[in-house]
Amino acid sequence: MSKEYVLQLQHIRKEYPGVVALKDVTLELKQGEILALIGENGAGKSTLIKCCSGAVVPTSGKIVVNGKEFESMTPQLAAENGIAIIYQEFNNVKELTAAENLFLGRPIKKGIVIDKKAMEREADKAFEQLRIKIDPKSLMKNLTVGYQQMVEIAKALQQDAKILIMDEPSAPLTSAEVESMFRVVERLRSEGISIIYISHRLEEIYRLSDRILVLRDGEYVKTLVTKESEIQELIKLMVGRELTENYPLRSDCIKKDEVVLELQDVCGNGDEKISLTVRKGEILGLGGLVGAGRTELAEMIFGAAHKKSGQMIFRGQEINPKSPREAIDLGIALVPEDRKRHGAMLGISIKNNINMPIYAKNATLSVINTKAEMQTAEKYRKSLAIKTPTLHQLIKNLSGGNQQKVILARWLAANSELIIFDEPTRGIDVGAKYEIYKLMNYLVEKEGKAILMISSEMEELMGMSDRIVVLSEGRMTGELKKEDFSQETIMEYASVANTEEGKTV
Amino acid sequence: MKEKVVYQLKDKAIWVVLAVLVVAFSIANPRFLTPSNQLTLLRQVSMYGIASIGMTFVILLGDIDLATGSIISFVNILCAYLMVNMGMNMVLAIVITLIISTLIGTLNGFMVSTIGMPALIATFATQTAFQGIALIICGGLPINGFTEKFKIFGQGYVGIVPVPVIIMIACFAVGSFILNKTYFGRYFYAVGGNIEAAKLSGIRVGRTKYLVFSISGFFAGLAGIVMLSRTNSGMSNAGLGYEFEVITCVVLGGVSVTGGYGKMSGVVAGTCIIGALKNGMVLMNINSYIQSIVLGVVLALAVGFDCIQKKRQTT
């Protein structure tokens, strides 16, 4: 093996029950270079770096660090071999000082007491080296996110890291902070530190990196030399999978001109000036990367979060739901992404899960009409084909697909006009996925509902939507008609960086 | 299928434990099983039973109410003061007392739901404060001298059945009705089981908490009135430590301490077990220090059993 590589991941494969997260991925990092790692959501970037940190044990493959071969890493081994990872969420203690955080877990001691003075002196030196001005005595919580990140980097260097892996380091930073982070990263490179830089902001990658490694669906696609590549080529490599046409077709029997929901310049919950319309009988896809502000938008429409400004017009009336209850009563429903935490009430029966939003409405003097609740549940068991021996069954005993149907039944029973799906098929197996798609089609086609669908799966987004609106970093970056759908355009819109100043820290 | 069996067992286990206890105490002392002793036993636990309805709801939500004992003490003094020192009509005094005890519960609901305090601390604060208020009202002295009619709630009989036992049974029936027949009952399970999903299903979680703490205050107040009638003397320390015995009844009855799971029938069994233990140990002349140890161990076992179940389910 060539000596110029400080880190090599060779033929890494990682299987989880039922899924292959990484298939034969090879990564080679040269000394003193910045290697950008890119790919869509779920391409396997995180899993790959977790193999380096020891958080994930690969099913097969080898990890070679400075010529030493390992089957897998442990966090301790990684540290001993000079690998450090700067995560998006910092591992710091907010109530301690910068110096104390720098030496967290291995303080400088004088006898049995901690030598605060020495730690502050050392911290000062470490910060000096990075040419950043941080008072070692200031509490972590009083530092800006950018400085907190610098403390993390300083900590990694303090522990003799030679290989630095940075996971979306620019995501939480303001533009000014991003600039100074770039300068630090470039200085580190000139000092011979090797860096793996993960980001979805393509401009940054062109600005910083020497080479680019592209992953797609857990597979290694290509490694490019940054200077010799084009942004269009890169996007093609990221999204260039074969589109399989296995989406059920919809017939257009409903005139799609009746606007159900209209948003005008809606701001709040991290989103800025979102304007869109959803019509009766259509599926509006909401595309973008994880963290683009799509779920946040759904929360505002559903009353789970509050908008700061702008207007929401639902079926001709301006609305301002203060709670999910109000939104539900208006006819808005949300099928959340995290089914187990936000959707299904696992310890409760199917029947009760379906009836939960309408109990109060159908009760006489608070007493439940047990016959009616059973009938409602029975009706939707039939029409949605929920597979269960009895409706008294606890929902946790159902498969993911059937759980999703129960939640759908809940909203149909509540007479919702607009149904927001947040990642409708996450955690659902392939066969059941198709069934959910058919149900969605049935809802818009036969029931005349309007659907707003958030999806990070490119295929699903393009296969199911009538139109697609793309968000990036809380802003709307594009809207596409069905005939203009293309993976490349969506990806391009989704990676537009927020260049405006003054993003809140 | 296996899971079903485990659930069935868990539901029935509590009755098996009760049966074993009854047999064991009957062998140790034949007097245990006599009808008169059994009725005495039930009368002894009636105050726990009444207060346990509200506590069941609170624990179903995954919260806790430590104010119960203190509300009982406060109600003792308040109701006695209204009747004796102010010469108020008995029915009016009882109604006012129940309203105020319910409002104390509402105050707990306000602190937990609107302010967002942990129930443990909020109800602990209420407990401490109302203990003090009770002492101020009575000046630390007991209040005596109620009308004959007032004795009926704690000392009366219908046939051979003590009135407090009848009140307890009625309370269990009401509790069971709320839990199984009204939509509030469904809400309690939903909120306790998954508060986020409950919120997103349109349940107003805050209001549900207000309701549950208020109900808990009401039943604690009712238990306090029965106790006042039984002891015939308003004492400012009447309910001291009662909340823990009530919590033991509920948890022993299989209500999950993390919320979301439990049945009223289980709480009935739990209450009977506490009664059988206390009564049986007295009959066996076991000294009260040791009784305390036994109750502590029983509480730990009950919660431990619940937690082991939970752990198994998640791993």
Domain layout of chain B by residue ranges: 48-308
Tally helices (H) and strands (E) across chain A. 17, 22
Domain range A5-239, CATH class: alpha beta
Beta-carbon contacts below 8 Å between A and B: 77
Provide mean pLDDT across the span A341-357.
Answer: 93
The answer to whether B203 contacts A325, with C-beta atoms less than 8 Å apart, is: yes
- Measure A368 CA to nearest chain B CA, in Å: 5
CB contact under 8 A, A324 and B187: no
Model confidence at A406: pLDDT above 80: yes
**A contacts of B211 (beta carbons < 8 Å):** none
Residue contact A356–B189, C-beta within 8 A? no
CB nearest A357 (choices: B184, B193, B202)? B202
Contact A13, A20 (CB under 8 A): yes
Residue A181 has pLDDT above 50, yes or no: yes
pLDDT, tens digit (0-9, with 9 covering 90-100), for A253-296: 566 688 999 999 999 998 999 999 999 999 999 999 888 899 99
Hey, of B7, B10, B200, which one would you mutate to test binding to chain A, going by the most A CBs within 10 A of its CB? B200
B190/A345 CB distance under 8 A: yes
Task: Provide mean pLDDT across the span A364-372.
Answer: 91
Nearest to A356 among B196, B201, B204 (CB): B201
Report the pLDDT averaged over residues A210-225: 92
pLDDT confidence of residue A450: 95
Give dist(CA A149, CA A142) in Å, integer.
Answer: 13
Cα–Cα distance for residue pair B226/B155, rounded to 1 Å: 9
Which of A78, A31, A72 has its CA nearest to residue A53? A78
CB atoms under 10 Å from CB of B252, counted, come to 28
Which residues from B are below 8 Å from A345, CB to CB?
A: 189-190, 193-194, 197-198, 201
Cα B46 to Cα B226: distance, rounded to the nearest angstrom: 9
B269–chain A nearest CA distance, Å: 22
User: What confidence score (pLDDT) does residue A498 get?
Assistant: 59
What distance, in Å, lies between the first and last C-alpha atoms of chain B? Answer: 18
Q: How much of chain A, in percent, has pLDDT values that exceed 90?
A: 56
- A421/A435 Cα distance (integer angstroms): 15
Q: What is the average pLDDT across B137-161?
A: 93
Asked if the Cβ–Cβ distance from B200 to A304 is below 8 Å, we say: yes
Say what the ipTM of the complex is: 0.86
Q: Most confidently modeled of A14-18, A152-156, A252-256, A494-498?
A: A152-156
Chain B contact probe: residue of A337, A359, A388, A407 with most B CBs at under 10 A: A359
- Answer whether A494's CB lies under 8 Å from A477's CB: yes
B181 touches chain A (CB under 8 A): yes
CA atoms within 13 A on the CB side of B315: 6
pLDDT average, residue stretch A328-355: 93
Residue A244 has pLDDT above 90, yes or no: no
Per-residue confidence (pLDDT) for residue A203, from 0 to 100: 84
Residue A264 CB-density burial (10 A; 0-12 exposed, 13-18 middle, 19+ buried) = middle
| Closest CB from B3, B198, B204 relative to A345 | B198
Q: Residue A401 has what pLDDT? A: 87
CATH architecture under which domain B48-308 falls: Orthogonal Bundle (1.10)
Considering CB atoms only, which of B183, B196, B204 is closest to A368? Answer: B183
Residue spans of alpha helices (H) in A13-144:
45-53, 75-80, 98-102, 116-129
Q: Provide, as residue numbers in chain B, all residues whose Cβ is less than 8 Å from the Cβ of A359.
A: 183, 186-187
DSSP 8-state symbol, B19: H
Q: Is the pTM of this model over 0.80?
A: yes
Taking residues A41-52, report their average pLDDT: 86
Predicted confidence (pLDDT) at residue A207 exceeds the cutoff of 60 = yes
Could you tell me the strand order of the sheet in which A5-16 lies? Answer: A68-70, A60-65, A5-16, A19-30, A219-225, A211-216, A34-38, A194-198, A163-167, A83-86
What is the spatial distance between Cα A163 and Cα A6, in angstroms, rounded to a whole number?
8
Q: Where are the domains of chain A?
A: 5-239, 258-331+417-424+450-498, 338-415
B157 touches chain A (CB under 8 A): no
| Chain B residues lying within 8 Å of A363, measured CB to CB | 182-183
* Residues 6+ positions from B304 with CB-CB distance below 8 Å: none
Question: Spelled out in words, what is the top-level CATH class assigned to the domain A258-331+417-424+450-498?
Answer: alpha beta
- Pairing label, strands A34-38, A211-216: parallel
Which helix (H) or strand (E) element contains residue B221?
helix B205-231
Chain B, nearest residue to A329 by Cα: B202
Report the SS3 class of residue A421: strand
Nearest-CA distance B196 → chain A (Å): 5
Yes or no, beta carbons of A343 and B197 under 8 Å apart: yes
Contact A302 B187 (CB under 8 A): no
pLDDT for the residue numbered B113 = 96
Whether B310 and chain A come into contact, CB under 8 Å, resolves to no
Contact A356 B199 (CB under 8 A): no
Which range is least confidently modeled, A372-381, A496-505, B145-154?
A: A496-505
Predicted confidence at residue A230, as pLDDT, reads 86
DSSP-derived letter for residue A139 is: B
CB contact under 8 A, B187 and A359: yes
Distance between CA atoms of residues A350 and B180, nearest Å: 16
Q: Say if the Cβ atoms of A341 and B194 lie within 8 Å.
A: yes
Residues from chain B that touch A342, judged by Cβ atoms under 8 A, are 196-197, 200
pLDDT exceeds 80 at position B222: yes
CB neighbour list of residue A8: distance below 8 Å, 6 or more residues apart: A1, A26, A27, A28, A29, A62, A63, A64, A65
Task: Please give the pLDDT value at position A380.
Answer: 94
pLDDT digits (tens, 9 = 90+) for B48-79: 999 999 999 999 999 999 999 999 999 999 99
Residue A323 and residue B204: Cβ atoms within 8 Å? Answer: yes
Nearest chain B residue to A371 by CA distance is B181
- Candidates A328, A367, A414; nearest CB to B182: A367
CA-angle at B267, arms to B266 and B269, nearest 5°: 65
Closest CA of chain B from A325, distance in Å: 4
Separation CA B148–CA B55 (nearest Å): 31
Residue A499 confidence (pLDDT):
52
Rounded CA-CA distance B28/B22 in Å is: 10
Asked whether the domain spanning A258-331+417-424+450-498 has the same topology as the one spanning A5-239, the reply is yes
Q: Per DSSP, what are the bridge partners of residue A420?
A: A334, A452
Answer yes or no: do B193 and A348 touch at CB < 8 A. Answer: yes
Q: Are A261 and A316 in contact (CB under 8 A)?
A: no
In angstroms, the separation between the Cα of residue B310 and the nearest Cα of chain A is: 12
Q: Which two tokens stand for residue A72?
A: 């897998």
Subunit contact A341:B261, Cβ cutoff 8 A? no
pLDDT digits 0-9 by tens, B78-101: 999 999 999 999 999 999 999 999
Residues of chain A contacting B199 with CB distance shorter than 8 Å: 304, 323-324
Chain B residue with CA closest to A364: the answer is B182
Of A370-379, B10-19, B132-141, the least confident: B10-19
Per-residue pLDDT of A455-484, as tens digits, reads 988 889 999 999 999 999 899 999 999 889
Residues from chain B contacting residue A325 (CB–CB below 8 Å)? 202-204
- Tell whether the torsion through CA atoms of A143, A308, B109 and A366 is positive or negative: negative
